[in-house]
Structure 1
């Protein structure tokens, strides 16, 4: 065992841990899926509806103008997903995902947790983003060892709270429009 930075670790210096591989797997699958969902909205890729149809759906659920909100949601999902996949600017990526998923939970709340239109997927995505904010990305990430790398409790809380505040702002804007 090594004691570093007030943490007890069981990893051998210079070797990758199982946690690093686990975080890579989580980031690649989660980030890739989220980016694909964003591209469904924006471009109709991966069986998606594209921006015009998604915009009409956003209008029906109270986000007006629908195409604008659909474009913002799609762009943020794509950006947040790609950043997580790469392990790049992680606190920002997690904040983006938490904010978007709070809005998704809001509009799917009436469907219940497990209903066909329920909020379970949005809750799962928001939770995964919050977990990555708390754990960091591991050593197999573009952030690792870079001057801009930010992780730890303070950054995790800031990331999650920024997502919550941004979501609240969008929900307020939605109510005013």
Structure 2
């Protein structure tokens, strides 16, 4: 009889290894695909998006001046970070890009609260969930079904996850400082 609640042995069966790899693949492709689609909305107007000009105008209205720089940077960050996650390529960097972008989205939506009672107000729960998912991938790595798997540049674990989150926080804070200063 095996008690899985007290298991101390590492994952070692082929089924467990494949299940972990498939789970990370599903997470990466689903989450990364959504992030890339958000970027494509901002940059190209795809998927019922606003397009580049409306995005840059919107960023200008939110106080991110110049809106052309910040709006383009946000769209590119979502698109590139999302695509890197989809493919499982340079995963800690991809996660840092997404987390940093989501910290700025949380900042913009902060006044709405986590769960606003007014349905016309947007809260920050969605970008928080996206930041959490990206941070989790920074720590776990992309899994065996990825372009990073088995490559010399592949990185994962506590140090790389913490480094990715740290880089994201620093980049987000610098962006917010620039927003306030410009």
The answer to whether the superposition gives a TM-score over 0.5 is yes
Residue 102 of structure 1 pairs with residue 103 of structure 2: yes
Counterpart secondary structure, 1:146: coil
Partner of 1:71: 72
Paired with 1:100 and 1:48, the residues of 2 have a C-alpha distance of: 18
Residue 23 of structure 1 pairs with residue 28 of structure 2: no
RMSD between superposed Cα atoms in Å: 1.5
Runs ≥4 residues deviating over 2 A: 7-17
1:127 equivalent among 128, 132, 136: 132
For the 8 Å contact 1:100–1:167, the answer to whether it is kept is yes
Partner of 1:49: 50
For the 8 Å contact 2:35–2:82, the answer to whether it is kept is yes
What is the number of residues matched between the two proteins?
Answer: 171
Partner of 2:175: 170
For the 8 Å contact 1:38–1:77, the answer to whether it is kept is yes
Partner of 1:3: none
Where structure 2 has 5 or more consecutive residues not aligned to the other structure, the ranges are 1-7
User: How far has the Cα of 1:60 moved from its partner?
Assistant: 1.2
User: How far has the Cα of 1:9 moved from its partner?
Assistant: 2.4
Where structure 1 has 5 or more consecutive residues not aligned to the other structure, the ranges are 1-6
For the 8 Å contact 2:110–2:124, the answer to whether it is kept is yes
Residue 138 of structure 1 pairs with residue 139 of structure 2: no
User: How far has the Cα of 1:152 moved from its partner?
Assistant: 1.1
User: How far has the Cα of 1:21 moved from its partner?
Assistant: 0.8
Change (3 A) 1:136 1:8: farther
Paired with 2:139 and 2:71, the residues of 1 have a C-alpha distance of: 29
